[in-house]
Amino acid sequence: MEHLFDQDWEIVPAGGATGEAFFAQYQEQRLFLKRNSSPFLAVLSAEGITPKLVWTKRLENGDVITAQHWLNGRELKPAEMKEDRVARLLKKIHTSKPLLTMLERLGTEPFQPDHMLTELETSLEFDLLTLPDVKKAMRFLQDGLDEVRQSEYVVCHGDVNHNNWLLSEQNQLYLIDWDGAMIADPAFDVGLLLYWYIPEDQWEDWLLQYGTELTDSLKLRMKWYVVAQTILFMQWHKAKGRFHEMNHWIEYLHKII
């Protein structure tokens, strides 16, 4: 990475799971660098959903490096997720034709609930599958599958955790970390956000700012995806040996199922 810059630049890893992100700084110039990010990033930047893309360079080995403005800012606090600007930005993402067109051009197929259920049925470890709440949850997923299938597919972020919402010092809100982007039911994003951050008696008001109504269909689809995701979180943390986190999601499943 260093050979892209003069030696006066300071380049340090930015952390993260992939180890492909870096911070670069020289005097007042500061950039966020990423190796082999998707061409999707250019459209996200053009739409104002992520910080501005400054340049893209292809290296001799075929790697592509992207540089974005490194902004001073902070992640949203959990209590701030109920704010109108969060609902409006998520709606902008879900209704963006340029984002959808680019993901389709990149060969992304719509994420079907059938795929999610099949993954759970075939990969869930036996000791989790035998838990009473997991058995109940799997029956709920199986019984509701036909009603969850629908035809509206949009660009979804896939991980709307408050840590991925960046508020700049200029009070501009961004949604970052798009490695899990998918074409899916908007209930995939909306359900996780509402279940995690918004009291149920405020769902209708939040959805009004988002631009839709709290119908029975949306309620079912949101719950379906949240239940499925919760079981996947349990499995993921168990595989990593993170049993405290696994137990957190087991307790959460008991609460919502």
Scored b (16 or more CB within 10 A) or e, 82-119 reads bbeebbebbbebbebeebbebbeeeebeebebeebbee
Q: Which CATH number fits domain 75-256: 3.30.230.10, 3.40.309.10, 3.30.360.10, 3.90.1200.10?
A: 3.90.1200.10
Calpha distance 206→117 (Å, rounded):
28
Q: Which pair of structure tokens corresponds to residue 255?
A: 């609460």
Superfamily of domain 2-70 in CATH is Phosphorylase Kinase; domain 1 (3.30.200.20)
Is 159 a residue of the active site?
yes
Dihedrals phi, psi of 204, to nearest 5 degrees? -60, -45
Q: Where are the domains of the chain?
A: 2-70, 75-256
**Which residue among the candidates 63, 159, 179, 201 is catalytic per the annotation?**
159
- Global model pTM greater than 0.85: yes
pLDDT in single tens digits along all 257 residues of the chain: 545 555 677 777 776 555 577 778 777 777 878 876 778 888 999 999 998 888 888 777 777 888 888 778 899 999 999 999 999 999 999 999 999 999 999 999 999 999 999 999 999 999 999 999 999 999 999 999 999 998 889 999 999 999 999 999 999 999 998 989 999 999 999 999 999 999 999 999 999 999 999 999 999 999 999 999 999 999 999 999 999 999 999 999 999 99
DSSP state of 42: H
